[in-house]
Amino acid sequence: MRARELGIGVAIVVVFGLTTLNNHAFAQIASIQQLLSGAALIALLGVGETLVLVTNNVDLSVGSIVGLSAYIVGDLFKHNQGMPVVAGFIVAIVVGAVIGAINGLVTTVARVPSLVVTLAMLYIVRGLDGLLVNGTTIDPGSIPKAFTAVGYQTLFGIPWLAIIVAVVVAGAGYAMRSFRASRDLYAIGSNPDAAALAGIPAERRVFTAFLISGALAGLGGALFLALHAQIDVSGGTGYELTVIAACVVGGVAIFGGSGTVLGAALGAVLLNTINQALVASRVSSFWNEAIAGALLLTAIAFDRWLSLRVARSLQSAKGAHRAL
């Protein structure tokens, strides 16, 4: 995993360097700040998605949660001018956590595949969002300046948005390495039967992963609103596929059992760097989706090849041990 993360870091530097040679404006402070802000939201959602993916599940509802939580918070600010800024973030997190909890309950209690559950939730939330929005748009004048400041202000030249997400990534990364409950997620994704024999409460752990994923998506909705200062029915559309691509490109195995939140965050930065590089090089934006798809396919193929190679190595080692 360290080799994968290092490789992604090198790829980011190479893409950034080549684009800067072609367009020197790409290395300007404003451009770098825009790059970090754009990648921050995907990286934040990638943290929650990583927790779900390592258990051999998937959460396709994160994009719709972003849109719904952003609109609810924006609408509350619009009709409650004195509402504290912190309350907006709390409401967004609660909205996301409730949806994540529903995903987790249906997946673990009813034993419905997470792909089906979260895909259905994506459409349900999008429909609910459409009913609430009803063609209206929350404009910047309805959002407190103290709230939108989180989206555009910087600290020593680094966007607050990127700083907040970096703290979340660092905290989640530490937890994934240090706490037994987090390591249980890897065991569940690697071998569910062995995890059950080891006494790991798989249902509780998977439920918690979905809950955290939903809560972080809700927080992402609040940050989305702070960044763009407006929201309509299209908010967060397509984020779910971009987030999954970032995670897999960052080394999170689509089949579960391995991956880090740092890798997912670096994957988000790489994809956004490529996107911005294409814009700076005046290349059609359609190439961004093609490149993201190619990277996703390559990462999945690499992970599959690596898992088969490890399996063969273990089998050979067992055979040699029996021969002795």
- The string of pLDDT tens digits covering residues 270-285 is 989 888 888 887 777 6
**4 or 181, greater pLDDT:** 181
Cα 267 to Cα 9, 50, 252: the distances in Å are 9, 12, 10
Binned at pLDDT 50, 70 and 90, residue 306 comes out as low
Residue 106 has pLDDT above 80, yes or no: yes
Instruction: Name the CA dihedral angle for 104, 109, 111, 115, rounded to a multiple of 10 degrees.
Output: -10
**More confident of the two residues 219 and 315:** 219
**Mean pLDDT confidence for 172-185:** 91
**The predicted structure's pLDDT at residue 22:** 84
Q: Say how many Å lie between the first and final Cα of the chain, rounded.
A: 32
Q: Classify 60 as helix, strand or coil.
A: coil
299, 223, 259: which is closest to 39 by C-alpha?
Answer: 223
Q: What pTM was estimated for this model as a whole?
A: 0.90
Angstrom distance (rounded) from CA 61 to CA 98: 12
Answer whether residue 87 shows pLDDT above 70: yes
DSSP 153-215: -EETTEEHHHHHHHHHHHHHHHHHHH-HHHHHHHHHHH-HHHHHHTT--HHHHHHHHHHHHHH
pLDDT of residue 141: 82
What is the third-level CATH fold of 2-323?
ABC transporter involved in vitamin B12 uptake, BtuC (1.10.3470)
Mean pLDDT of the chain: 87
